[in-house]
Amino acid sequence: MKYRKYKRYKDHNEDYEFEDNEYRNNTQERYVKNRSKENISDSRKNCEMTECLNCGWTLPSDWKGSLPEHCPNCLSGIHRETEEGYECGGILEPVGFWVKDDDKWEIIQRCRFCGEMRTTPMNGKDNRIKVLSIASRPLSMPPFPIERIKELRGIGGRDDETEGGE
Amino acid sequence: MNRENKKRKYDRKYFRTHPCTDPFTCKVCGWPVVPAGAGTSHRNHCPNCLYSIHLDNEPGDRGSDCYGRMEPIGVWVRKNGEWVIIHRCIICGKISSNRVAADDNPARLMALAMRPFGSAAIPREDIRKITDYFSTV
């Protein structure tokens, strides 16, 4: 009787431990999934597109590899879901570039409808002329006169060259 | 003023409707930042190093617990021709944008804008190929 009781207790304990471990693993997984970028990649699977609503590009029949996240012709995409998980449906237009490494660039896109920003990695299939035109857009309309930039250099921050030249 | 201070302390949505014009010290480079001379009352970044701090989820709600540094990753131009700095939080990866102020360091701004032209993602051979293609067709 004593033995049985003990055994039952032990079994129960083991079961309990097992459940506890399983529960902990699950919660850890969930936690990691929420924290890491898997979540973002899950929402990015929604972004795959076969035709562009902005310029009318369609997926050619000899396309190799995975479906693109943005149109390789005009670099815009479709904003299906916001970060909070709401539906949006606007067009993401490219506004700038982020140079992560020298080889890795990311396109910064902005939703026309809700104004949310997001980034997608650039690949070799993208339209080079469009890339150059977007990257040179800030240079074409600077907020300060470029021909006097040497005089402006010392205004905002410290500069060793202009400190003594007053 | 007393009433205003009280509102500011207890009203959570105070900064959604009122600009915050407090002087602050940059946590990245230690630059003392004053509201005067910005040309905008919604300055959120240091004029010297252009870094910002992740305080808001939506503009003006002090709702974020991240407090990470937000590094400037790029510049874009609005329709009316003014520049906007794009910030990205180095801890959680949130992207936000803010107008440039009048006293932002022009050299750093130009460096941000020129950054894509200084790297090798688009090699010169490719550009030569493009020019060749358009000159023949």
Q: What is the distance between the alpha carbons of residues A96 and A120, in angstroms, rounded to a whole number?
A: 11
- The pLDDT score that the predictor gives to residue A8 is 47
Closest by Cα among B62, B60, B28 to B47:
B28
pLDDT, tens digit, 9 for 90 and up, residues B23-33: 999 999 999 99
Q: What is the dihedral of CA A136, B89, A85, A78, to 10 degrees?
A: 10
Q: A72 with A28, same domain?
A: no
- The pLDDT score that the predictor gives to residue A153 is 61
Q: What is the distance between the alpha carbons of residues A100 and B85, in angstroms, rounded to a whole number?
A: 16
Q: A82 with A110, same domain?
A: yes
A154 Cβ under 8 Å from any chain B Cβ:
no
Cβ–Cβ < 8 Å for B53, B27: yes
Q: A71 with A28, same domain?
A: no
- Residue A155 placed within a domain: no
The band of A155, judged by pLDDT with boundaries at 50, 70 and 90, is low
Residue B51 has which token pair? 């870094």
Flag whether pLDDT at A152 surpasses 70.
Answer: no
Return the higher-pLDDT residue of A43 and A118: A118
A155 Cβ under 8 Å from any chain B Cβ:
yes
- The pLDDT score that the predictor gives to residue A28 is 47
**Number of residues that make up chain A:** 166
Bridge pairing between strands A105-111 and B24-25: unpaired
For residue B4, the distance in angstroms to the closest alpha carbon of chain A comes to 32
Q: Phi and psi at residue A79, in whole multiples of 5°?
A: -90, 90
- The pLDDT score that the predictor gives to residue B72 is 94
Flag whether pLDDT at A42 surpasses 70.
Answer: no
Q: What is the distance between the alpha carbons of residues A105 and A122, in angstroms, rounded to a whole number?
A: 6
B61 Cβ under 8 Å from any chain A Cβ:
no
Q: A24 with A75, same domain?
A: no
Mean residue pLDDT across chain B: 88
For residue B98, the distance in angstroms to the closest alpha carbon of chain A comes to 12
Burial A12-22 (b: 16+ CB within 10 A, else e): eeeeeeeeeee
Q: A80 with A51, same domain?
A: yes
pLDDT, tens digit, 9 for 90 and up, residues B43-87: 889 999 999 999 988 888 888 888 999 999 999 999 998 999 999
Return the higher-pLDDT residue of A88 and A163: A88
Overall average pLDDT of the A12-39 stretch: 49
Cβ–Cβ < 8 Å for A112, A122: no
Q: A50 with A112, same domain?
A: yes
Which residues on chain A are in Cβ contact (under 8 Å) with B82?
143
* Total domain count, chain A: 2
Q: Which residues pair with A85 in a beta bridge?
A: none
Closest by Cα among A89, A82, A93, A81 to A54:
A93
- The pLDDT score that the predictor gives to residue B107 is 85
A100: closest chain B residue by CA? B73
A97 Cβ under 8 Å from any chain B Cβ:
yes
- Residue A121 placed within a domain: yes
CA angle A135, B47, B28 (to 5 degrees): 100
For residue B63, the distance in angstroms to the closest alpha carbon of chain A comes to 15
Scanning the structure block, which residue is given the tokens 């650039």?
Answer: A122
Q: A75 with A122, same domain?
A: yes
Q: Report the range out of A42-56, B86-100, B115-129 with the highest average pLDDT.
A: B86-100
- The pLDDT score that the predictor gives to residue A21 is 52
Percent of chain B with pLDDT over 70: 99
The band of A144, judged by pLDDT with boundaries at 50, 70 and 90, is confident
Q: Which of B45, B46, B119 to mutate to test the interface with A (most CBs of A within 10 A)?
A: B119
- The pLDDT score that the predictor gives to residue A44 is 57
Q: With an 8 Å Cβ cutoff, are B95 and A118 in contact?
A: yes
- Residue A152 placed within a domain: no
Q: A77 with A113, same domain?
A: yes
A127 Cβ under 8 Å from any chain B Cβ:
no
Cβ–Cβ < 8 Å for A119, A107: yes
Residue A22 has which token pair? 């399983």
- The pLDDT score that the predictor gives to residue A154 is 55
Closest by Cα among B41, B17, B110 to A152:
B110
Q: With an 8 Å Cβ cutoff, are B76 and A96 in contact?
A: yes
- Residue A116 placed within a domain: yes
Q: A28 with A51, same domain?
A: no
Q: A55 with A118, same domain?
A: yes
Bridge pairing between strands B52-53 and B32-33: unpaired
> Domain residues for A123?
45-59+66-140
Give me the residue spans of the domains in chain B.
2-136
Overall average pLDDT of the A92-97 stretch: 92
Overall average pLDDT of the A65-73 stretch: 88
Overall average pLDDT of the B117-137 stretch: 84
- The pLDDT score that the predictor gives to residue B87 is 95
Q: A29 with A54, same domain?
A: no
Q: What is the distance between the alpha carbons of residues B99 and A138, in angstroms, rounded to a whole number?
A: 13
Return the higher-pLDDT residue of B4 and A45: B4
B83 Cβ under 8 Å from any chain A Cβ:
yes
Q: A55 with A136, same domain?
A: yes
A99 Cβ under 8 Å from any chain B Cβ:
yes
